[in-house]
Structure 1
Amino acid sequence: MSRSCPAISAAGGWLFRTYLWRRQLRRKQKFFGLSNGSECLLVVNQDPSAPGRNVQRYDAFALLELSALIKECGARAEIVVHDVARLGFGTRTEFCVGGPGSNRRTEAHLRSLLPGVEVNTDHENIPDGLAFTIGGQAYRISKGVAEYALLARLTAPESDRPVFLAAGQRGINNQAAIRYLARHHVQLARQYGSDGVFCLLLKVLSSDQYGPDMVEVVADVTVEATAPR
């Protein structure tokens, strides 16, 4: 009898850990709208400074991080280039990467879902080039020092399949927003609910030294971003 106790305890511990893992997976799947065997869209942008359909390397890194997340949920991804993604939203989860200057799909989402956000896509316009304006406040880029990105979870009416938008002032900011989403989705689900809508303004600090890892939340701008202009 005494010899069987450790085996029973080990089996009980394994079952409990398995239960916790499955519960966490279900919550993750619900937040991302990704069930086992489901499909989602990865809408990729293009490097505006390169010919053809090249993807900027930091955006490629962001797609790799998303692919790992999608695989963990047991789902599959279809990659669609931004200028041919003539699809509605709400039937499948969508991850849209890139600002409106390089991603027409992002431009459409901002216009229809986040009309309170204005983005200056003129790279040459100093100091306002690439600036975000939200609620009358301008957020200007200081390259390599302080840059901004929007991270949003949006849903269509009567749909549980969200659109995740990662729109940064530079490619490395897109990756920073995706990495923040992957690392903090549990906290975001607790704060906004597993089917909640939010739009966060993130600041990426010292990207020239620290890459996409130094990120802080500037503000929850959901109310301002979803308000009509």
Structure 2
Amino acid sequence: MVSSVGDLVINLLASVIAGTAVWSFQRFRRRRRDERRRRFFGLSTRAECVIVAPRHASSPSPHSVNQLDVAAIVELATVARECGADVALKVQGHSVLFDSAFDSATEFCVGGPEGNRRTGAHLATFVPGASMDPYEEVGDLLTLRVGDEEFPRKPGEAEFVLLAKVDTGKEGRPLFLVCGQTAVTNRAAARYLTRNYRTLASRHGLDGRFCLILEVVRPSTYGDRVVRERGDFTSVAFTSPA
């Protein structure tokens, strides 16, 4: 009887020790994963995060935002809040000037140069190897260009978005560009970034910059759900064309 009680106590202790070890390991993994995500996005507890929204192209109000761009913003803001950051939203009008320097906070800049002039400024400054045709010149047939590659929009069939992480020179405060031909491509790229950041971190490092072109396949049928990576242009996007 005494032996049986002793065996029971030993088994209980072994179970407690094993359970504690598993709990501690899972907690360690979760903490490490959260720390890696914060570092990749340049966010931490109480850090400032700015999300710049594009104006709605067809709205008479300079402060109106397309609902799909709002969905993209929510996707990015959710990640920022999960990292503990304080999120500030700015809707782009006709000025690229804000009340703070561009590198004072982690920034997510959403939309093409036509709807978000700040995107145009960032492309020219940090990603000179990439550009997009002005809407007033080509209308709906917008073309994204990176290096020697061109990605013309085929409305409803194939639409493209540039997704880039930029080193602003301010340690730990990157700039993320979501430069799409349409609002649906902006939404797709925001989701792609938040759900594939671990893959991107493995490929480019937690602090590394990158520039991808993503294709949204048949958005007239699938919306923003089918996304393909069409190319990694990190090697040419950050260099001025000859």
Structure 2-normalised TM-score? 0.89
Three-state SS of the structure 1 residue aligned to 2:196 is: helix
For 2:205, the equivalent position in structure 1 comes to 193
Percent identity at matched positions? 36
| Among 177, 181, 184, the residue aligned to 1:165 | 177
Q: Which runs of 4+ in 1 moved over 6 A?
A: none
Once residues 105 and 188 of structure 2 are traced to their aligned partners in structure 1, the CA distance between those partners, rounded to angstroms, is 24
Q: CA deviation at 1:64?
A: 0.8
Distance of 2:101 and 2:212 partners within structure 1: 23
Secondary structure at 2:135 match in 1: coil
Counterpart among 26, 51, 63 of residue 60 in structure 2 = 51
- Which runs of 5 or more residues in structure 1 are unaligned? none
Could you tell me which of 183, 187, 196 is aligned with 1:175? 187
1:99-128 deviation per Cα after TM superposition (whole angstroms, max 9, x unaligned): 10100110100111111212112266268x
* CA–CA separation in structure 1 for the residues paired with 2:139 and 2:173: 39
> Where does residue 69 of structure 1 map in the other structure?
79
How many pairs were matched up?
228
Which residue of the partner structure matches residue 113 of structure 1?
126
Tell me the TM-score normalized by structure 1.
0.94
What corresponds to 1:60 in structure 2?
70
Q: Is the Cα contact below 8 Å between 1:95 and 1:163 reproduced in 2?
A: yes
Indicate the residue corresponding to 2:149 in structure 1. Answer: 137
Output aligned runs, 1:1-229, within 5 Å: 1=9, 2-52=11-61, 53-83=63-93, 85-86=97-98, 87-122=100-135, 125=138, 129-229=141-241
CA distance in 2, matches of 1:208, 1:138: 22
Amino acid at match of 2:107: E
Which whole-Å CA distance do the structure 2 matches of 1:33 and 1:18 have between them? 22
Query: Is the 8 Å Cα contact of residues 90 and 159 (structure 1) preserved in structure 2?
Result: no
Structure with greater Cα Rg: 2
